[in-house]
Every structure is written in structure tokens, then in C-alpha cells.
Amino acid sequence: MNNFTHINDQGQPAMVDVSAKQVSLRVATARSIVVMPPEVISKFADGDIQSKKGPVFQTAIIAGIMASKKTGELIPLCHPLGLDNCKIDIHINQQQEVVIDCTASITAKTGIELEALVGASIAALTVYDMCKALSHDIVIKETKLMSKTGGKSDFKRAE
């Protein structure tokens, strides 16, 4: 027996069998933080910036939701899930960083953490893509799971 859920007893990759698990409401929130130089942050007004490609935050929200729905196609051995909900919130914090929170939920036999992580990650990459014409000095500082409920255990990260 091993501790990795996606490796079988023969040491080979395997999808986790969730057929015996109980259905429960599962909710996860992930966060990505994007650091931009002051000259880019200063372009944001009224909660968004209009780039040549369109509104940055609005486009990132759509991209993040679309990506979250495709997580099972992007991550090997990840169960394809039909999300019940996916919400992305983007704001600029006191440190002048772009904070992207993706919350995904489903009533199912398996978790939703990866969907939230993928949604936040792709939203961050979209912000980078849409702002790179202004500067390439943009850093996606981190992506992390903030919380999850449902399933075997709950998790809550201190902010």
C-alpha cells in the first residue's frame, strides 16, 4: 500500500475508484496572486482595465470558469465533473496585487479542489496575457488552495 492515491499497488498510474464513496456537497476555493509593476496597476480604474484585447478582469473570469469546467481534460487521472457552480472574484489588494479567488462546487462522490485551482490559475494566466503588452514584468506569485469542504476532510488555510 502507498500514500499516493493515483498509483496502484503495482506502482502504475491509476484513476481513483470513487464508486463506493458517498455523494456530498463539495466546495473549494483557490487563490492566485498576480504581481504587476505600478505602471500597469495604475491603468486599472473602476475595477477593471480596458486593453486592446478587451476588459482584463471580465475576460479572466470567463477564461477561469471555462478552464475549471475542463479540468478533467487537462489533469491526467482527474475525474471529469459537471460543476454545479463556479465563481471567480478578482480584486486589487492593499499591496497592489491582483487577487483571484475561484470557488467551485458540486454535489458528487469526489472533490472539487483541482477545478478551483485550475480556474484560479487560468484566470491569472489570462490577466498576464492581456497585460503583457504593457509590461513583461508580471509575476504570478502563487496559486494555492484556500479551503475545501465535503468528502473525507475539510481544510481552511489561514489568510
Superfamily of domain 31-149: Molybdopterin cofactor biosynthesis C (MoaC) domain (3.30.70.640)
Nearest residue to 83 (alpha-carbon basis) of 122, 28, 15: 28
Average pLDDT over residues 39-52: 78
Pick the residue with more confidence: 44 or 78? Answer: 78
Q: For residue 63, give Cα distances in angstroms to 42, 67, 127.
A: 23, 6, 10
> Backbone phi, then psi, for 77, in 5-degree steps?
70, 5
> Catalytic one among 48, 84, 89, 129?
129
pLDDT (0 to 100) of residue 46: 67
The percent of residues above 70 in pLDDT, for the chain, comes to 97
**Can 137 be counted among the known catalytic residues?**
no
Average pLDDT over residues 96-113: 95
Query: Residue 2 pLDDT more than 70?
Result: no
34 DSSP β-pair partners: 98, 140
Separation between Cα atoms, residue 28 and residue 85, nearest integer Å: 11
C-alpha cell at 74: 487537462
